[in-house]
Amino acid sequence: MSKRNPQLNANGELTHLLSIEGLPRDVLTHILDTAASFMEVSERDVKKVPLLRGKSLFNLFFENSTRTRTTFEIAAKRLSADVLNLDITRSSTAKGETLLDTIDNLCAMHADMFVVRHATSGAPYLIAEHLARVGRKDIHVVNAGDGRHAHPTQGLLDMYTIRHFKKEFHNLTVAIVGDILHSRVARSDIHALTTFGVGELRAIGPQTLLPTQIEKMGVRVFHDLAEGLRDCDVVIMLRLQNERMNGALLPSAREYFNRYGLTAEKLALAKPDAIVMHPGPMNRGVEIDSEVADGVQAVILPQVTFGIAVRMAVMSIVAGN
Amino acid sequence: MEKISIKNGRLIDPRQDIDAALDLHLADGRVAAIGKAPDGFADARLIDASERIVCPGLVDLSARLPGLEGELAAAVAGGVTTVVCPPDTRPPLDEPGLVERLVRRAADAGLARLLPVGALTASLKGEALAELDTLARAGCVAFSQGRVALVDMQVLMRAMQYAATYGYAIWLRPQDRHLAGEGIAHDGEVASRLGLPGIPAAAETVAIAGALELARTTGVRLHLSNLSTAGGVTLVRRAREDGLSVTCDVGIHHLHLTEMDIGYFDSAARFAPPLRAQRDREALSAAAVDGLAAICSDHTPIDEDGKQLPFGEAEAGATGLELLLPLTLKWADGAGLSLTKALARITSDPAAILGLPLGQLAVGAAADVTIFDPLAQWTLNANALKSDGKSTPFNGCGMQGKVTMTLVGGRVVFGG
């Protein structure tokens, strides 16, 4: 029974980024500070630093996501790494190769880092543990989203965004709205925000979209959007997948929007300077009204820009440890 | 058959409430006497059981036996002399010919006794009844669906009526298929945190409530296997108080582990039913302490390929035959239960559920005997297990109590 946090080495340094859960605040702060120093790189004419020159980074996307893969690719290229994109949604696994067979093969190609997206919660842990078992501690794993479990770089870029606009965490009220049950982003945000000591953390949604005993993760549950938004400093909206209507979790997108869709009128209940975040891609008219998505309080595009710097920071830090 | 005298040991037979320094004498595959040797035992083979406990052979209500002979060898190495195997094998045990062949192969192996549970429905599809009466004649001791859910309650009711007609028992692993859905871990704190689809406790309690109600109307002898929830224990307890003929068991892993043991997605801790919350574990333990539930190993050999997968894709279960005794002793020690009562949960209690005169050392009973060193300390190295299944969440853990000899029908089948 392995109980040790597998993403930290014996010195407590980050060698993989698998989840925000269990990472000390100073590790998270160091990532955000490093990201801040990389922000300037993206504004140069020559957008490159040589930190990962000669390193091979494999984007292993067992589940499709062009957007997330692209942001990792851009971040890696700005660090001068060689990037290989493997679309393994169906290729090798369809031929019967197991996940760890695929990993062994890529190790033999002298990979230095795996960026992993997988539909099953915990898959990046299995890979990291396997690398330790076969003595390849020199290879680093970055979780780019596993099942419903974690999307730590998204969580970190959300923290970067909040820190950028609000400076401190301890005096903030943050609300996460929508399908928290199926959201790896929400779980990573919750762990990050509680680690940073946020003033109050709220989860807003119907019972069918909230995980059992979510209060134990340090959040206050609201079922009414207006009540939950009152005096919030930060509102994080989550994407609602269309398939949620099939499993008897919700009756319709229309009814959901009436209850939980963020409109200008509802947003007015939050603090006047509240920011609105969204991990994208947005469903306009389902979880968020266009007026809000395109409004002055939305920081959804800055999130994307910060995301590149945060991913550069994560990759350079794990590769350096 | 030769005569055997097992001398100098501490004899424990829960059924007769014996715990004393007594010799045990065996002849013709049966218990001949306890204490003083009967006439004609002067030339008996002598087994010295000094500093050992001599008890009835263990009766395990649920063990999967792929490769049969190897797993039966694992059984006797663990002191298990009677193994009940579920019908959800490939192919399922729904044909008398399959059952007869299985029983014959096990008899030829000459190790533990094998008692198959037959399929309740043809191909376990939950539609047509299997030939229960013919299967019983072929050697089936009860009927179940294994891990396959029976969704149609009308089929379950008719199966119970039919089984009750001939006095056959129905065993169910209670889990509502739709409530369990795509779940892979207990719907609680840990699954929420790790983002694992949950199996609510209600998936078990709803299935139990339905089965109990049908057992009440049909009068069938119902056994509920591998309970995992506090709510399930309460329902069974209440039904027994109402006079219903219902029994239950709990897997040994569920007495030791909870959802917390999943840690960082440890696939060795994936079980079906899932490991649940601490209060569930406490209720299961209380049920085993007061004798409401028997204890089984729920032995499920899984090779490395079946566990070297992300948690949600890994196979559920763990090896158990060789760990049933030490893990039961460890649990009893923690629960403050006497050795006699602890041994009852893995000998006479399961035998009573089967309605067979096993798991006891009364004069005339089958000479199935387990001899173990209660003080032996050892560290579990899963690779050293006889079973083909090496996956266990207890690998590397300290154990106390080791089987030194096992006899089945008066023959030494392990040790010696």
What mean pLDDT is reported for chain A? 93
Q: How far is it, in rounded angstroms, from Cα A208 to Cα A215?
A: 15
Is residue B295 less than 8 Å (CB to CB) from chain A? no
Is residue A81 less than 8 Å (CB to CB) from chain B? no
Is residue B127 less than 8 Å (CB to CB) from chain A? no
Q: Which of A173, A167, A248, A148 is nearest to A206 (CA)?
A: A248
Identify from A212, A216, A238 which residue to disrupt to test chain B contact, counting B C-beta atoms within 10 A and taking the largest count: A212
Q: Search chain A and give the residue with CA nearest B178.
A: A247
How far does chain B reach from its first CA to its final CA, in angstroms?
Answer: 17
Check A212 against B192: CB less than 8 A apart. Answer: yes
CA B80, distance to chain mean position in Å, is 10
Is residue B312 less than 8 Å (CB to CB) from chain A? yes
Is residue A187 less than 8 Å (CB to CB) from chain B? yes
Q: What is the pLDDT of residue A88?
A: 78
List, run by run, the mean pLDDT of 10-residue segments along chain B (416 residues).
Answer: 93 98 97 95 94 98 97 98 97 97 97 98 97 98 96 97 98 97 97 97 98 98 98 98 96 98 96 98 98 98 93 96 98 97 98 98 98 98 97 97 98 94
Secondary structure class of A32 (helix, strand, coil):
helix
Checking if the pLDDT of A285 tops 50, the result is: yes
Checking if the pLDDT of A132 tops 80, the result is: yes
Q: What is the pLDDT of residue A44?
A: 86
Check B197 against A148: CB less than 8 A apart. Answer: yes
Q: How far is it, in rounded angstroms, from Cα B318 to Cα B392?
A: 5
Q: Which of B373, B411, B401, B359 is nearest to B16 (CA)?
A: B359
Catalytic residue among B23, B298, B349, B368: B298
Checking if the pLDDT of A2 tops 90, the result is: no
Phi, psi of B216, deg, nearest 5: -65, -45
Checking if the pLDDT of A1 tops 80, the result is: no
- Pick from A3, A121, A211: CB nearest B312: A121
DSSP letters spanning A258-297: HHH-B-HHHHTTS-TT-EEE--S---BTTTB-HHHHTSTT
Is residue A17 less than 8 Å (CB to CB) from chain B? no
Is residue B265 less than 8 Å (CB to CB) from chain A? yes
Tokens of A280: 């994208």
How confident is the model over A227-231, as a mean pLDDT? 98
Radius of gyration of chain B (CA): 21
Is residue A74 less than 8 Å (CB to CB) from chain B? no
Q: Search chain B and give the residue with CA nearest A182.
A: B195
DSSP-assigned beta bridge partners for residue B406: B370, B414
- Pick from A123, A150, A216: CB nearest B310: A123
Buried b (16+ CB within 10 A) or exposed e, A264-283: eebbeebbeebbbbbbeebb
Are B59 and B358 a contacting pair, CB within 8 Å? yes
Q: Which of A305, A251, A296 is nearest to A275 (CA)?
A: A296
Peptide bond preceding A272: is omega within 30 degrees of 0, i.e. cis?
no
- Pick from A130, A147, A212: CB nearest B188: A212
pTM greater than the 0.90 cutoff: yes
Q: How far is it, in rounded angstroms, from Cα A43 to Cα A27?
A: 26
Tokens of B83: 């193994």
Sheet containing strand A82-87, edge to edge, reads A82-87, A56-61, A113-118, A140-146
- Pick from B195, B308, B393: CB nearest A148: B195
If contacts are CB pairs under 8 Å, which of residues 151-190 in chain B contact chain A? 187-189
Q: What sign results for the dihedral spanned by CA atoms B179, B180, B181, B186?
A: positive
How large a percentage of chain A has pLDDT more than 90? 83
CA B288, distance to chain mean position in Å, is 13
The identity of residue A249, as a single letter, is L
Check A122 against B192: CB less than 8 A apart. Answer: no
DSSP-assigned beta bridge partners for residue B5: B25, B46
Checking if the pLDDT of A95 tops 70, the result is: no
Are A250 and A283 a contacting pair, CB within 8 Å? no
Question: Is B298 among the residues known to form the active site?
Answer: yes
> What's the pLDDT band for A92 if we cut at 50, 70, 90?
low
Helix (H) or strand (E) holding A83: strand A82-87
If contacts are CB pairs under 8 Å, which of residues 217-256 in chain A contact chain B? 217
Q: Search chain A and give the residue with CA nearest B264.
A: A3
How confident is the model over A288-313, as a mean pLDDT? 97
Tokens of B115: 């008692």
For residue B266, give how far its alpha carbon lies from the nearest alpha carbon of chain A (Å).
7
Check B265 against A5: CB less than 8 A apart. Answer: no
Is residue A3 less than 8 Å (CB to CB) from chain B? yes
User: What does the H/E/C string look like for chain B?
Assistant: CCCEEEECCEEEEHHHCEEEECCEEEECCEEEEECCCCCCCCCCEEEECCCCEEEECEEECCECCCCCHHHHHHHHHCCEEEEEECCCCCCCCCCHHHHHHHHHHHHHHCCCEEEEEEECEHHHCCCCECCHHHHHHHCCCEEECCCCCCCCHHHHHHHHHHHHHHCCEEEECCCCHHHHCCCCEECCHHHHHHCCCEECCHHHHHHHHHHHHHHHHHCCEEEECCCCCHHHHHHHHHHHHCCCCEEEEEEHHHHHCCHHHHCCCCHHHCCCCCCCCHHHHHHHHHHHHCCCEEEECCECCCCHHHHCCCHHHCCCCECCCCCHHHHHHHHHHHHCCCHHHHHHCCCHHHHHHHCCCCCCCCCCCECCEEEEEEEEEEECCHHHCCCCCCCCCCCCCEEEEEEEEEEECCEEEEEC
How confident is the model over A16-29, as a mean pLDDT? 97
